Structure 1
Amino acid sequence: MLLTVYTLPQLAVSAKLLCLLMVVICGAVPSMVRSVRLYNDCSLSYMGIDMKGRVLAVEREDDSLNRFQNLTIKSMDYNVALMIYAEASKRFLCFNRKWKPVGLKNFNKKMCLFYEEMLSSGYTRFRSANQSHFVGFNKRGKPLRGNAAKPNSKDEKCFNFVKNDTNFNINQHNRKIAGGNNQSSGNPVFPSRGSRRGPKRSRNNKDNVRHSRNKKRPS
C-alpha cells in the first residue's frame, strides 16, 4: 500500500485552492431581499421612517405618510444578520446610543444590523445584532427606547410585527384561483348579491302571457 506524502508547500497550495473554491461558491448565492411592510401588534399601525429619520407608527388612513411604510429587508452575511432599509426616505433602521430606533443615511454595522426571530404565534421580532434590544412601539405609537426596548411580560406584544408582502395583489390572486376568468376586470371575482338570480322578465312578456290567457279558444 502506497502512501502519498505532501510537503508543506503543496499543503499550502491545496489550502489556498480550497479557500478560493469556497469563496466562489458563497459568492454565487444571492443575498435574501424582501420588500415588506411591518405591522405592529401594539400600536396597530405600520412602521415607517420619514425624511427626517424619525421612526413612526403610520396608520393606514394617513396617505401623507403611506410611502414611508415600504421597507426592504436584506441579509448581510451568513449569520442571518439583516438590514432594514426605508425606500422612500433612503435611510437605514438603526439604534442610537440611547437605544432608540432611528433612521440613518449611512449604514453602521454595529447599530444597524438585526436578527429576525420567528415566534410560534406567527409574529416576527427584530433584535439588535449586538445587544438584547428589540424594535417596538407602545400603544400610543411611540418607539420604545432604552430599557423599555427589552421585552417583558407586561408589553410582550409591543415587539410583535406582522410582515405584509408589498408585491401581493389580491385581484391578481383571485383571477389566478378562478382559472383566469374575468381577467379584463380589476375587481375580485367574488359573486355579487344578485348574480345568482335568474334574468328578470320584461313587462312585455307579462302582458303577452296575460293576453294569451284571456284569449278565447276557437269554437
Structure 2
Amino acid sequence: MRPFSRTTVPAAAMLAGFALASPALAHPHIFAEARLDVVVSPQGDVSSLRHLWRFDDLFSSTVLLEFDANSDLKLDDAELAEVSKTVFDSIGEFDYFQVVRSNDKPVAMKPPANLMANYDDGQLIILFESEPADPLKLAGKVDFGVYDPTFYTAIDFVEDANMSIDNLPDGCDRAVIRPDPDEALAQNQSTLTEAFFNDPAGTDYGNIFATKLEITCNGQG
C-alpha cells in the first residue's frame, strides 16, 4: 500500500511515484501486524477470509495528518469513512493483498463488501472480509497468502496463531510457512533484475518473503 491522499489518483500513477531506484531501496516502507481467520462451513467449503491489519505508528500518524480535516488530532466517523474508501480503492487492483491457491491453481476472491478503518491508540486498523468467487472446497492443498506483491508494504503475522482456520475438517492439517529471507534471495537472484528495481509494481516480489497458511487434506484433491 502506498501513502495516499484524499485526492484520488490512478493506482498505476501512485505506484510509479514510489518506484524503487536501486537494490538498496528494495525493502518495505510501511509495516502492518496482521491476523487472518479462514472461516470454513460444516460442509468443508471456505466461507470467507477475515482480515485485520494494524499499521505502524509512523504510517498511522501520516494518515492522521492527511485525513484529519477538522484538525482535532483524531479521526471521526466521516474521516474514517474517507480512509476506508481510499484504502479500498488503492489496493483493489492487487486483490486486496490476498493470494489463494488450490492445488497450485489461483482462486479468485470477491471484493470485500465492506472495508472498515479504525484509529486506536495511535495506530490505523483495517478490517475486512472477503469470499471466494466460486465454491472453494478444502481438498488436496490450499494455501492462503496476504502480502503486497510490490513489497512496499510488509504484512507481518507475528505469531503462527495469527493465521487461523475455523472448523478444520478431519483429515486436514494446518501449517504456517515462513520462508528464510537469505534462502529466498539466493533462490530468486536471477529475477532481481534492473527491470524489477525500475518497476517493482510489475513483479511479484512480495511472494518471495510472504508467510502463508497451508492446508493439506490427505486423500482428497
TM-score, normalised by the number of residues in structure 1: 0.24
Higher helix share: 2
Greater strand percent: which structure? 2
Kindly indicate whether structure 1 or structure 2 has the higher relative contact order, using CA contacts under 8 Å at least 6 residues apart: 2
Q: TM-score, normalised by structure 2?
A: 0.24
